[in-house]
Amino acid sequence: MKAVRFALRSFGRELRSGEVLVLLAAVGLAVAALTAVGFLTDRIGKAVARQANEVLAADLRLRSQAPVPDEWRELAAGYDLQTADTLSFPSVVFHGDDNALSTIKVVSERYPLRGAVRVSDELFGEQREVDGIPAAGEVWADGALLARVGADVGDVLEIGELQLTVSAVLTYRPDQSIGFASLAPTVILNISDIDSSGLIGEGSRVRYALLVAGDESNVAAFNEEIQGILPDEIRVRSQEESSERAYNAADRAQRFLSLTAVISLLLSAVAVAMSARRFAQRRMDTVALMKSLGATQGFVITVSLVQLMLLGVLGVAAGSITGYVAEELLASVLSDLLAGTLPDTGLRPVILASGSALVLMLGFALPAMIQLRNTPPLRVLRHDVMPPAPSRLLVAGLSLAAVAALLYRSVGDARMLLILVGGIIVIAGALYLVGRGLVAVIGRARSGVGVAWRYGLANVARRGRDSAVQVVAFGLGITVLLLLTIVRTDLLEGWRASLDENAPNHFLINIQPHEVDAVGALFAQNDIEVPTFTPLVRARMTTINDESVKDREYPNRDGEWLANREANLSWSAELSSSNDIVDGEWWPVDYAGQPLASIEEEAAMNAGLTIGDRLNFTVAGREVEAKIASIRKVNWDSFQPNFFIVLSPGALDDMPTTFISSMRIPDEKQPMLIGLMRAHPSISVIDLGAILEQVRGIIEKASLAVQAVFLFTLAAGIAVLFAAVQSTIDERRFESAMLRALGARRRTVFAGVMAEFAALGAAAGVLASAGASVLAALVAVQLFDLPYEFNPVIWVAGVGAGILVVCISGFFAARGAVNAAPVDVLRGAPA
C-alpha cells in the first residue's frame, strides 16, 4: 500500500514531463483510432452494404419458376427477418386502340425491403420517393410504356381482365434489371389484384421471388440453413452478387478503414516503445536514490507499474472519448448514408480498443520496467552506471507478440498483416542500417560547412545508435504516412474513374436490324453522338465437348445454371474496352476461319471450361460449334454491352439478330426518347441514371469516411516523431546549456539542432519513399485490386516531407530545451 500511495502522490508531477505526455498521447491515439474505426467500420460497412443491396431490394433474394413455399417465409420469420413477395411476367397492356408488351411486376406489402421506389407525376417530371406500393386498382407504369400507348397519369390501362388507373409514372425501382431480359417497360401493381386478373394460369411463365431482409447475422444464419435444402429450381442471390461496383466500393472502404487502424496501431506502438524507454531512463536516478534509502525491488517496480497503469487508464479514457466523439461527428455528416435501422454504437469497439492499448503498453513498456527494477544504487554517485539491459530477444518477442495479437484481433486479415508487418520490419531494418551508415559518413565529412551545420552533424555522428534509432522512428512514421496517402489517392481516383461523368446513362434493347440506321439518324438529328450498335443472338447451349449440358457435372450450381439457360451471344472483330484477356488470345480483326469463342473468366470457372473446349449451340434450329480461344475479365459495371460468350465474326451470319446499345443522353435532350419510343415501339429504353446516382452516393460517402479516419493516422505519425525527438531531449537540454554558458548564441544553437533534424529527416525521407513505393504497390494490387503506377514525385515529396515534418516536430519538441536558462539546467544536469 505504501508503494501505491507513493505512486499516486508523485503521479501529478510525472504528468508534467514530456515523455509522459507523449506516452499518454500515443496510448490515447491508439484507443481513439481503434474506437472510431471500430464504430465506423461496423456502422458504415453495414450501411454501405445495405445501400448496395438496393439492387436486390433486399439482403437476400430467393428466385424460382414455381411459387415459393410458405415454409420459406415461416423459416425467415423464425430468424426475425422481414419478407416480401414479387412475381414478374410479360403481358400486353392496352390503352384504347394502342397496346404494348410490358413486364408486369406484382409486389406485396413492404416491397422493397431495401431501397425505395421513385415515381413522378408526369413524364420526365421531378422524381420523388414513395413509401409503399400502388393501391388496389392502381398501377405505376414506366414512362416508356405510357409513351408507346399514348397514356398519361390518370388514364386507365387494361391488363388482362383488370382496368387499372395510372396513379404515377414509375421512374426507378431498386431491383430493376439492366440485363437483356428486360425487353419491355415495367408496370407495378398490387399483389391483391393478381387473382382477379386472369393473367396467371397453368403453364404461365412467371418468375417468383421471396425477398428477405433483416439483421446481418440473422440473414447469414438463414442463408446457411437453406443452402442444404434448396430445391434445384430456386436460386439465391446475396449482396456479393448484387452489384460488383457498389459491393467493391463498400469492401474497399472497409479494407482502408482496417488498414488505417492497423497503421495507427503500429505507429502508436512505436511511439509507446520510445516513450516507455525514456520513461524508464528518466526514473533511473530516482530509483537509485530510493534504493540507496532502503527501497526494495518490489517497491520500485510497484510504483512504476502503478504509474504506468494510471497513464494507461487516462490514455484509454481520453482516447475512448475522442474516438466516440469523432465517430458521432462523422455519423452526423454521413447521416443520410447511415439512415435506417442500423445498430447503435455499443461498447464492443471501446472494450476492444481499451484492451488493445493496455496490452500494447505492457508489451512495449514492461521490458523497460524490468530494466528499471535492476537500477544499481551506485548510480546516485555515478550517473554513467546503467542497469543490465533485458534480453533483446525478450523485448522483441513480447513487443511483436503483443502487436501481432492485437492486429489480428482487430482486423482478422492475415494477408494484410503479413504484407504490412513484414514490409515494415524490412523497412525498419533498412532504416537502421542507413542510419548507422549516415552516422559513419557524417563523422568523416562534416568539415567545410558552417558552425550550425558542423554542430548539428556532429550531434548525429556522436549519438551513433540513438541517431540510427531516430532515423528508424522518423522513417517509419513517414513511410506509413506516404503509404496511406498513396493508397488513399489511388483508391479515390480509382473510384472517380469508375464513375466517369460521360458514362452511359441509357440502354437501348431489342433494336431490329432494319431500325439501326433510323435510330442512328434520330440521334444525329438531336446532336447526340451516334452510339455503337452491338449484335445479340438468342441461343441455347447443347453440348460441351460432345457431352450434353444436362448430363455434365459442374463445379457449382452457377455453372450448371449458366450452361442450361438461354444464352445471349454476340460477335465482334475487336475486344471491347471493358474487357481484358486473361488467358489465350483474341482472334485477328480479319479472322474468317472456323468459329471461335471467348468466355468470361468467372463463367469459365463455374462451368469448368478452359481453352480448347468445344461449345455447341442451337440457334433457330441450326447448330453452331465454336472452340474456346480466350478467357476474358469483364467489367460488368462499365454500363457497356457485355456478354458471357462472344464469338468470332461470321460465326452467326444469317441468324435472327437484334441489336443493343448504350449511350449518354444529356438531361435536356431526354424528351427525344418519347419520339424514339413512339416511332419504334419495339425498342426498350432503360434509364441507368438512378443506378449511377445510387453507386455514386455509395462511393462519395465511403470516400468521406476514408478521408476522415485518415486524420487519426496523421496524428499517430506526429506522435511518433515527437517521441523520437523526446528520446534525446535531456542531452539536448544539457548541450544547449553548456554551449550558451560558453558564449554561443541561442540562434546558433537552435540552427544546429535544426541542421541535425534536417539530416535525419533527409535520410529517413529517402528510404521512406522507397519503402512506401514498394508497400503501396503490394497493398494496391494485393489488397485493393487497384492498378499501381510508380510516381517519381513521391520521392520528392518523401524527402521534402522528411525534412519538413521532422524539422517542424523537432522545433516544437526541442525549443524548450534550447530556450531553457543555462543556470537552471546546469544545477540539475547530469554529469
**HEC sequence for 598-639:** EEEHHHHHHHCCCCCCEEEEEECCEEEEEEEEEEEEECHHHC
Q: Is the pLDDT of residue 30 over 90?
A: no
The more confidently predicted of residues 757 and 103 is 103
Nearest to 172 by CA among 713, 690, 727: 690
Q: Which pairs count as long-range contacts for 819-826, CB under 8 Å and 24+ apart, including other chains? A: 819/746, 820/733, 820/736, 820/737, 821/737, 822/736, 822/737, 822/738, 822/740, 822/741, 825/733, 825/734, 825/736, 825/737, 826/734, 826/737, 826/738, 826/741
Where helices occur in 198-336 by DSSP H, the ranges are 216-227, 239-242, 244-282, 284-292, 297-333
- Residue 154 gets the label, from left (phi > 0), alpha (psi -120 to 50) or beta, of left
Residues in the chain: 831
d(CA 189, CA 23): 65
pLDDT of residue 240: 47
d(CA 473, CA 467): 10
51-84, pLDDT tens digit by residue? 666 667 888 888 877 788 888 888 888 889 999 9
d(CA 644, CA 640): 13
Question: What percent of the chain stands above pLDDT 70?
Answer: 62
Q: Which pairs count as long-range contacts for 194-200, CB under 8 Å and 24+ apart, including other chains? A: 194/87, 194/106, 196/161, 196/162, 197/159, 197/160, 197/161, 197/162, 198/160, 198/161, 199/89, 199/91, 199/104, 199/159, 199/160, 199/161, 200/87, 200/89
pTM of the model: 0.58
Residue 540: all three cell numbers together: 441455347
531-576, pLDDT tens digit by residue? 888 899 888 999 999 899 888 888 887 788 788 888 889 999 889 8
Q: Is the pLDDT of residue 179 over 50?
A: no
Burial of 154 (C-beta count, 10 Å sphere; 0-12/13-18/19+) = exposed
Most confident listed range (17-21, 178-182, 272-276, 607-611)? 607-611
Task: Tell me the three state secondary structure of residue 87.
Answer: strand
> Bridge-partner residues for 156, per DSSP?
165
Instruction: Supply φ then ψ for residue 133, to 5 degrees.
Output: -125, 170
483-493, pLDDT tens digit by residue? 777 776 766 66
Residue 320: all three cell numbers together: 475512448
